[in-house]
Chains A and B, each alone.
Chain A
């Protein structure tokens, strides 16, 4: 038993006796031609469009919905127009001055409404442009190449034409060094052209966050809180769009709010950690102060987050500071202000 070890002894093998690989085993398929008719071209699918299709399910309006909405719109507009017409008629019948007044008021309403809508559309277009520029700049940010930033800079130049940012942008553009590579150019412009705007926006976010925090802390009814926060948030968004030179309007604001909420909802884990840390920060406060004050702080933080998201959406160039860092600095400043 003992002279039979349970492992195999090493042996020398004559290399000539090794098993030869048979030709069939490793024969690569030979090069050959196929008749054209027997092959089919594999379709290269564009990654982006496929993603688009995946994420954005097509809106499928049912025929009845369209019919219903168009008929309602037609009915309402016919009703409104005929009613206005009758009003004007009645005015003229009563006294010409009254009629003229009615006409004037109606036309003022129509014109201002048109302008308002146009502004909204302009703001929407600007937001879209911003998004495209942001993506382009983000791609260039870590490139060490030369000369690829020029088209982007040209686009930015036309983007900022006739806005408050134009001057500082032109200044920063002139100071770009010939030795900078594309990534450095983007970072330089991002840091220096929008400096004042960033500062103003940050102050704006801070102010509104503190305001909504205090309001929620002081408001006696819980149902009231939501309206307060919403109201402050909308106002803050309008101010931020104004700071970054995006044309304000209800449509812009609505779109921005939608995007901001979307971003906050899908921000992912990175912000969750921040949230946790801010909870830790806040917990000592909430335990010492009161539940109301804790709610106030929560509302303030929410406003701050939506403000920072709005800044990101309104800025055509990516920010250098990471979102986390920004949020934590803003959080700190809010907390230090809210602390009694």
Chain B
């Protein structure tokens, strides 16, 4: 027995791994200034586009003046920005994404199916005269990860055991519209004796049914967010693993102490525990436990388009996800040894899909969605802010005269039909609309195709408030 393995058995593998990991990071970071930004958001909320646009604008920051509210850039103190992503195991496909947005006609980047990383080194001139006396340039390293939003929903599983998870799902599936959509599946489940010896075929059939159900729940029409376990809908490298043959039991046996080894219930429980330990915990430990700043991207328009069930589901999903992050004020040493998130930006993405005078309302509506999560963060003394932004602007603002009144509207290319159109998408409510108001044709937030994002010579008109988001997230580091 070597010293290493003895140590491992003494302290426990997880802790040792953690310590090793941390020591390694501290050693590499040294006295350099590192900032790790968590880009959090449910699937289709615009994480990849946000990262692409952010990195592209930053890489061009020394040449173009596209970030007027980002102080280092507008003062022209950025000397150069270098992309170090290639040193990572899974670099972010920046070139492809930028090319997709720069071609004719421009396309939104493909939705993410795996984990990837961006590392940037920003070389800049420090602002203070004293700092400049010591050093005429400094470097800030910026790390951002991109990952499928579906996987994020696994994070709440970390502090739930199988029985608790089943209870939660039971509550979820008892409410419309889930209840009626899942009627068949829950009926198929109800015939099964969970205490009987495990039958792998039945489990396989039920789990494939469950996966289909999850896909149904999150499709265009139903647009629900709380889809667990996330790997079932987007397995990544785990496709066809038995670990993913997993689903919640909606009518568990009343007495859990009777469960014997090898029973159906026990098999599922085992899988759940393995899934949690091997997939979720590893994902969390390797990528999610060390962040300094966080952006939470929320697609408010989706909630508005789909009505109250979608809104409620999104709110629940975001609140649960955000509980998995470490928040707290952090200083320099803290940032080095046990980072905590000390600034959170809630951003309602796709602000270009509403008229500019509705941005303020969009902020207010976003606050409705994230109010529970925000309350907890404020309690920890975290700096939070809401902002309506568009990583890549796909519409122009225009004005139209309707019944003698001038109204501002949007002009852009419809994503589905590819035709140019002008649209007044409706006003964003600042309070949750009641059921009656919601289903009438009050909102028409359509998806637009992106405007072309040039390779060089970027302008402030290519985004909305991306510079302010950057300033808020990183401004104090320069």
Partners in one complex: yes
Contact of A144 among B69, B130, B363 (CB under 8 A): B363
Q: Is B129 within 8 A of A333, CB to CB?
A: yes
Q: Give chain A nearest CB distance to B16 CB in angstroms.
A: 45
- B381-438 with Cβ < 8 A to chain A: 390, 393, 396-397
Q: Which of A2-10, A16-24, A176-184 participates in binding chain B?
A: A176-184
Smallest CB gap from B364: residue in A: A144
Q: Is A177 within 8 A of B461, CB to CB?
A: yes
If A144-B360, A192-B74 touch, whether A329 touches B68 (CB-CB below 8 Å) is no
If A187-B69, A188-B68, A192-B74 touch, whether A178 touches B356 (CB-CB below 8 Å) is yes
Bound-state Cα–Cα, A336 to B133, Å: 9
Bound-state Cα–Cα, A302 to B128, Å: 21
Residues of B within 8 A of A329 (CB): 127-129
Residues of B within 8 A of A192 (CB): 68, 74
If A191-B68, A329-B128, A332-B130 touch, whether A175 touches B460 (CB-CB below 8 Å) is yes
Contact of A332 among B129, B352, B390, B396 (CB under 8 A): B129
Q: Is B464 an interface residue (CB 8 A)?
A: yes
Smallest CB gap from B363: residue in A: A144
Residues of A within 8 A of B360 (CB): 144-145, 181
Residues of A within 8 A of B128 (CB): 329, 332
Q: Give chain A nearest CB distance to B342 CB in angstroms.
A: 20
Residues of A within 8 A of B129 (CB): 329, 332-333, 336
Bound-state Cα–Cα, A187 to B352, Å: 21
Q: Give chain B nearest CB distance to A35 CB in angstroms.
A: 43
Band of interface residues on B: 20 to 34
- B43-79 with Cβ < 8 A to chain A: 68-69, 74
Q: Is A179 within 8 A of B356, CB to CB?
A: yes
Q: Is B130 within 8 A of A178, CB to CB?
A: no
Interface residue count on the A side (C-beta < 8 Å): 19
Q: Is B130 within 8 A of A336, CB to CB?
A: yes
- B426-478 with Cβ < 8 A to chain A: 460-461, 464-465, 468
Q: Give chain A nearest CB distance to B145 CB in angstroms.
A: 28
Bound-state Cα–Cα, A192 to B465, Å: 16
Q: Give chain B nearest CB distance to A207 CB in angstroms.
A: 14
Contact of B465 among A145, A146, A175, A179 (CB under 8 A): A179
Residues of B within 8 A of A180 (CB): 356
Bound-state Cα–Cα, A332 to B132, Å: 12
Q: Which secondary structure dominates where chain B touches chain A?
A: helix
Smallest CB gap from B65: residue in A: A175
Residues of A within 8 A of B323 (CB): none
Bound-state Cα–Cα, A47 to B299, Å: 44
Q: Is A179 within 8 A of B133, CB to CB?
A: no
Q: Is B351 an interface residue (CB 8 A)?
A: yes
Q: Type the 1/0 row for A173-203, where 1 means its CB is closer than 8 Å to any CB of B.
A: 0010111110010011001100000000000
Smallest CB gap from A337: residue in B: B129
Residues of A within 8 A of B130 (CB): 332, 336
Smallest CB gap from A320: residue in B: B71
Q: Give chain B nearest CB distance to A147 CB in angstroms.
A: 8
- B314-366 with Cβ < 8 A to chain A: 351-352, 356-357, 359-360, 363
Q: Is B359 within 8 A of A144, CB to CB?
A: yes
Q: Is A179 within 8 A of B68, CB to CB?
A: no
Contact of A175 among B68, B69, B396 (CB under 8 A): B68
Bound-state Cα–Cα, A175 to B359, Å: 20
Smallest CB gap from A321: residue in B: B71
Bound-state Cα–Cα, A188 to B465, Å: 12
Q: Is B74 within 8 A of A179, CB to CB?
A: no
Smallest CB gap from A192: residue in B: B68
Residues of B within 8 A of A147 (CB): 357
Q: Is A177 within 8 A of B460, CB to CB?
A: yes
Q: Is B69 within 8 A of A179, CB to CB?
A: no
Q: Give chain A nearest CB distance to B351 CB in angstroms.
A: 7
If A179-B351, A179-B465, A336-B129 touch, whether A191 touches B74 (CB-CB below 8 Å) is yes
Residues of B within 8 A of A188 (CB): 68-69
Q: Give chain B nearest CB distance to A1 CB in angstroms.
A: 49
Q: Is A181 within 8 A of B359, CB to CB?
A: yes
Bound-state Cα–Cα, A145 to B129, Å: 37
Find the residue from A147, A179, A329 having the highest chain B CB count within 10 A: A179
Residues of A within 8 A of B359 (CB): 144, 179, 181
- A294-340 with Cβ < 8 A to chain B: 329, 332-333, 336
Bound-state Cα–Cα, A190 to B352, Å: 25
Bound-state Cα–Cα, A3 to B440, Å: 70
Q: Give chain B nearest CB distance to A99 CB in angstroms.
A: 62
7 A-B pairs whose Cβ atoms sit less than 8 Å apart in the complex:
A178-B356, A178-B396, A179-B359, A179-B390, A179-B397, A181-B359, A184-B69
Given contacts A179-B393, A188-B68, 14 further A-B contacts (CB under 8 A): A144-B360, A146-B356, A175-B68, A177-B464, A179-B356, A179-B390, A179-B397, A181-B359, A181-B360, A184-B69, A184-B468, A191-B74, A332-B128, A336-B130
Q: 6 tightest A-B contacts by CB?
A: A144-B360, A146-B357, A178-B397, A333-B129, A179-B356, A179-B464
